Structure 1
């Protein structure tokens, strides 16, 4: 096929190819509702999804609702989430998040970005994860993988996550933004890591400006 001439064209082709490459792509944080995904995403900072998934069953069994977590003993929460790292900060964020949901939103996770980012422990990335995965709303989470791949693929020269999100948003349909981010994350983990990207087996190599450059 002809090489896409614009970043938008390249983004659309990346979405098409990676959708074929990872047809079963999904969020790898186990959850049953928006509250659980919000808590799991807070715990995932500087931690693997696999480790978070080992911790959350006991956490949600003990505190199944925001109302339960809002009045939790911090020491109990700390013990439950200890293995995810930064457990004191994460405990403060979890309890603060639950209190905010109860006090401001009737125990429900809000969908509006301005409301979400005012919840303790929630930045734009976490908010976009919850919006796109649990609430079926447009949201393009920008993590280190999305930053790296969007630069390597020549989609943007921005390095600030919020600016990268704003550049990428109009490149793909609103309903596809969450999946686009998820596909870039999966591809970044499996094929295009920070060191030694596997360009020889990459389905994007022929349209990637960085292919074979080792950057």
Structure 2
């Protein structure tokens, strides 16, 4: 496993990310905490673009738990059938909508434990909602962050939990809120899985990856 970057190196990495994109945003479309929760739950093993295509029309008619319940599982399925695992996801969205109405006054809770108790909501989904809506420095580790964390030395770890802990423990406090978005964007557009675009990487000189390429596109 690659070594962990030192504190000065980490500070330089995230200062660079911040200079490029001071306020990074998630790419899942949403209008409130509920639509964000639904969008993230639907995005498991699916692309953000694919989810956005499905939820655009969906959220125009079902942007609250009550409206989602009124739509029903069959109605919801028609909107999300282009998304992988759509049947199970539709079932979970209806179940979590009912729980939100009955147990949380139709509000999305701001507790990780409460979020993870909802059907179809794991730690990663909960962390995305906590970070993007409630502005908590929660680190949602996806495949991009796992790859970037291990490849660069920013947050090495043998599994997603270890990488999450490495981000929390080693990224300077002033960068914690946006850390996971910077890492996701870096992994999605530059530090890609195959042939990383090291030729245009803004942190190339700090990155510990030994097999750097000259790829630019």
Q: Same fold (TM over 0.5)?
A: yes
Q: Distance in 2 between matches of 1:174 and 1:118?
A: 28
Aligned position for 2:72:
73
Aligned position for 1:16:
15
Q: Distance in 1 between matches of 2:122 and 2:48?
A: 18
Q: Distance in 1 between matches of 2:62 and 2:150?
A: 40
Following superposition, the deviation at residue 7 of structure 1 comes to 3.9
Measured on the aligned residues, the alpha-carbon RMSD in Å equals 1.9
Which residues in structure 2 correspond to 1:48-197 (within 5 Å)? Answer: 48-173=47-172, 176-197=175-196
TM-score of the two chains, using structure 2 as the length reference: 0.88
What runs of 5+ residues in structure 1 fail to find an aligned partner?
Answer: none
2:11/2:172 contact within 8 Å kept: no
Following superposition, the deviation at residue 21 of structure 1 comes to 2.3
Q: Provide closer, same or farther for how the CA distance between residues 58 and 24 of structure 1 changes in structure 2, counting only shifts above 3 A.
A: same
Following superposition, the deviation at residue 152 of structure 1 comes to 1.0
1:29/1:52 contact within 8 Å kept: yes
Q: Distance in 2 between matches of 1:41 and 1:118?
A: 15
Per-residue Cα deviation, 1:100-158 (whole angstroms, up to 9, x for no partner)? 21122111111111111111111111111111111122211100010001101113442
TM-score of the two chains, using structure 1 as the length reference: 0.89
Which residues in structure 2 correspond to 1:17-56 (within 5 Å)? Answer: 17-23=16-22, 25-56=24-55
Q: Provide closer, same or farther for how the CA distance between residues 88 and 63 of structure 1 changes in structure 2, counting only shifts above 3 A.
A: same
Following superposition, the deviation at residue 173 of structure 1 comes to 4.9
Larger displacement relative to structure 2 (52-61 or 112-121): 52-61
Q: Distance in 1 between matches of 2:6 and 2:88?
A: 39
1:46/1:85 contact within 8 Å kept: yes
Q: Distance in 2 between matches of 1:210 and 1:196?
A: 12
Q: Distance in 1 between matches of 2:98 and 2:123?
A: 19
What runs of 5+ residues in structure 2 fail to find an aligned partner?
Answer: none
2:68/2:94 contact within 8 Å kept: yes
1:149/1:184 contact within 8 Å kept: yes
Task: Report the number of matched residues.
Answer: 210
Following superposition, the deviation at residue 50 of structure 1 comes to 1.5
